[in-house]
Chain A
Amino acid sequence: MTRVAALNASSWWSLRLRWRRRTGRPRLPVLSMALCILLIFAAVAGGAIAPFAPDEPDFTAILAPPFWMEGGSTMHLLGTDQLGRDMLSRLIGGARVSLLTAGAAVLVAGTIGVALGLIAGYLGGLVEAAIMRVVDAFLALPFILMALAFVSALGTGIGNIILVMILTNWARYARLVRSEVVSIKKRDFVLLARVAGVRPMAIALRHVLPNAMTSILVLAVLDIGRAIILESSLSFLGLGIQPPDVSWGLALAEGRTYMSVAWWLTVWPGVAIVLGVMSFNLVGDWLRASFDPRGVL
C-alpha cells in the first residue's frame, strides 16, 4: 500500500486523503463504516423503522421462518420467535440496547479514564503512582470475571450494566492517556507554553489533551465493539438485560432451546453481534492506521 508520510500535524488531512482515495472503490473500512452508521441509525430511529414493537406477540405466526422459506411471509421478514415476536424488530431493539449501553459506558469510562490519566501523566510523582496502581489493579482482573462479580453484587438492569462496563473499562483509558501525556509533555511546544507563562491547567487542556485525542478516539471506537461483546455476554448469561427487554445476547440465549427447529432465533442475533463488533473494530483499526504517521495500511 502507499505509505503516506504524514506528520502528526497533518493526520486529519491525510485521513481525508485516504478517505477520498478509497471512496471510488468500496473496501472494508467503507463497508464497516456504513454498517456502523446503519446500526446507529437503527438504534436512534428504533421504533420508527421497526415493523413491530420488539415485544409484540403475533399468535398467528409462532416460530414463523424467514420470508424466503416455506411458511414464511413478508410480514415477518426474518421470521418470528416462540411467542410470535418479529425477529427484525427484536434485532433493531437489540441494536438500541447494545449501542446505548456501549455508547454510555464508553463515554463515561472514557471521560473518567482520560481525566485521571491526564492528571497522573501531567502531575507525575505520588499522584501518578497512586492513580496508576489502582489502574494496574483494575487491569489485572479479567474483565468478564470482574463484570460477573459486580453484577452479582449490584444486580441486573440496564443502569447496572452500564455501571459495570464503566468500572471494567476506565482503566484502559487512564493507562493510554497517561503514557501519551508523559511523552507529549516533553515536547517543545509544551515548554514554549511554560516559558510564555501559561498556567499548567491551561497547558494540559489546550496543548496536551488535544494532542492525545487521536489515540483516545481510536481506543473509544475499538471499545464500542468490546462493550457490545460484554453486554451480549452478560445478557447471554442472564446477568444483563432481563426479559421482556431485548438484547442480542439475551435473544441468543432464549433461542438456544429452539435451535433444532428454528435456527433463525439464534443465527440472526449471532450475526448481529458479529457484524456489529467487527464493523466497529474495523473502523477503529482503520482510524488507527490513518492517524499513525508510520501508517502502512
Chain B
Amino acid sequence: MHRETSPPILTVKDLTVAFGPMERPARAVAGLNLTLQPGEILGIAGESGSGKSTLCNAIIRTLPRSARVGGEVRYDGRQLLALSEREMRGLRGSEISMVLQNPMTSLDPLFTIGNQVDEVLRERRRQGQSNDQVTAIGLLRRVHLTAPELRLRQYPHQLSGGMRQRVLTAMATAATPRLLIADEPTTALDASIQDEILLLFREIRDRAGTAIIIVTHDLSAIRRLSDRIIVMYAGRLVEEGPTATVFSAPRHPYTRALLDSLPQVEGDTVTLKAIPGQVPNLAELPHGCAFADRCPVAIARCRTEDPTEMQLGLRHRAFCWLADTAS
C-alpha cells in the first residue's frame, strides 16, 4: 500500500466541540487529533457519551447550532469548518457521505425506496457527480439487495432493517464519495445481519478506494473491519493504533477494560466484565485523566495532571501516564 506516502484525505487537528454555558462548557470532543489516509478504514470505539457521534457530526458539519466548534478539520486540504453552508452542501453526499445509525427511521415513510434513491441520484447529477448510467436499480444491486426491482416500488416499512441499511448505504455511495462516515451502522441491526453490512463497507473501500470512518461500540465489528482504531473516552482520544496491535496489546487501561467487557466464552461458562462506574459528567470533569475515577491502576499523578501523548511504537499512541509500564 502507498498509504504512508500519499497525503491524508482527512486531518483533524485539536478539534473541540463544546455545548452548554460558556463558563461551564461540556466538551463533547476535547482537543482531538487524527488523520485518515485514502482508502483506510478507521474504527472509532468508546462507550455511549464518549463523543464518537459528535466527532462524526463535526466533520460533516451537522451539529446543532448551539455547538461551539474549535480547531481544524481538513478534508483534501480544505478547512471544512471555514466553508460556507452552501460550499459544505456541495461536498456532502458527493465527496463526504454518511450512513446513519438507525435504518428504521432514516428513510422518509411517505415515499417509495425508488423515489428516495432517485432523489439522491438527481442531486448527484445536478452536481455533475453522476451520470445517467448510474440507475437506482444498479445502486441497489451493488449493495446486494435482493429483488431490487420490487424494492424500488416498496415503502420503507415493508423492508427489514438490514435491507434498509443496504438502501441507505447505496444512497450514501451513489457518487463514489472519498470519505464515508458510518455512525454505528450496525447497532440497530440483528447480529446475523451485522456481518453482511460490515462486509459491504469493506467492499466499497476495495472497489472505490473510499476512506471509511466507522463508529461503533461493538469492538468485534471494528476488529474485523478496520485497519486502524481510535478509542475515545469522555471526548478525548485515549489510544490509537493499528487494529491488530491495539487488540493484542492494549496500553490504555480504558481500552483494556473495553476489551475485557467483551463476553468471554470458556467452555460452558460465559463471563462478562463490566466497567465499574459511569462516563463522567462532561461539564464537571476532574483534574487530570478523565478515566482516573474508574481506572483500576490509577496513581496519584493521574488525578492531578492531564496525561500526555505516549508514543508506543509504529503509529501506536496512548494518553496514559502508565502506558509504557502497564501491560
Chain A residues within CB distance 8 Å of chain B: 7-10, 187-189, 191-199, 206-207, 210-211
Contacts and interface: CB of A to CB of B under 8 A. Distances in A.
Interface footprint category on B: 20 to 34
**Interface centre among B90, B100, B106, by most A CB within 10 Å?**
B106
B92 A9 contact: no
Contacts of B101: 188
B287 interface: no
Given A9-B110, A195-B92, A210-B110, A187 B105 contact: yes
B250 interface: no
Nearest to A192: B106
B120 interface: yes
Given A8-B109, A197-B94, A198-B119, 6 more contacts: A195-B93, A197-B89, A197-B90, A197-B92, A197-B127, A206-B119
A-B pairs with the 6 shortest C-beta distances?
A: A9-B109, A197-B93, A197-B92, A195-B98, A196-B93, A188-B105
B192 to A, nearest CB: 23
Interface of B: 60, 62, 89-94, 97-98, 100-102, 105-111, 119-120, 123, 127, 155-157, 168, 171-172
B91 A197 contact: yes
A189 B105 contact: yes
Contacts of A9: 109-110, 155-157
A206 B107 CA distance: 13
Contacts of A189: 105-109
B60 A10 contact: no
Contacts of B157: 7, 9-10
Nearest to A186: B64
A188 B62 contact: no
A196 B110 contact: no
A7 B89 contact: no
Contacts of B94: 197
Nearest to A7: B157
Contacts of B109: 7-9, 189, 211
B92 A194 contact: yes
A133 to B, nearest CB: 21
Contacts of B102: 188
Contacts of B107: 189, 192
A193 B97 CA distance: 11
A15 to B, nearest CB: 14
Nearest to A125: B65
A197 B100 CA distance: 14
A211 B93 CA distance: 23
A196 B100 contact: no
A195 B155 CA distance: 21
B80 to A, nearest CB: 13
Contacts of A187: 105
A196 B172 contact: yes
9 contacts: A8-B109, A188-B100, A188-B105, A189-B105, A194-B92, A197-B92, A197-B127, A198-B120, A210-B110
B322 to A, nearest CB: 40
Nearest to B93: A197
Nearest to A207: B108
B60 A195 contact: yes
B100 A195 contact: yes
Contacts of B168: 192
Contacts of B119: 193, 196, 198, 206
A191 B92 CA distance: 12
A193 B108 CA distance: 9
B62 A198 contact: no
B97 A195 contact: yes
Contacts of B98: 195
A291 to B, nearest CB: 12
A62 B289 CA distance: 98
A211 B127 contact: no
**Interface centre among A9, A191, A192, by most B CB within 10 Å?**
A192
A148 B97 CA distance: 57
Contacts of A207: 108
A9 B91 CA distance: 31
A199 B97 CA distance: 15
Contacts of A192: 100, 106-107, 168, 171
A287 B269 CA distance: 56
B180 to A, nearest CB: 11
A85 B109 CA distance: 54
A235 to B, nearest CB: 40
A207 B105 CA distance: 13
A201 B60 CA distance: 19
Given A188-B100, A188-B106, A196 B90 contact: no
B155 A196 contact: no
B120 A196 contact: yes
B33 to A, nearest CB: 24
A43 B91 CA distance: 54
A189 B111 CA distance: 11
A277 to B, nearest CB: 31
A199 B89 contact: yes
A195 B108 CA distance: 14
A8 B104 CA distance: 13
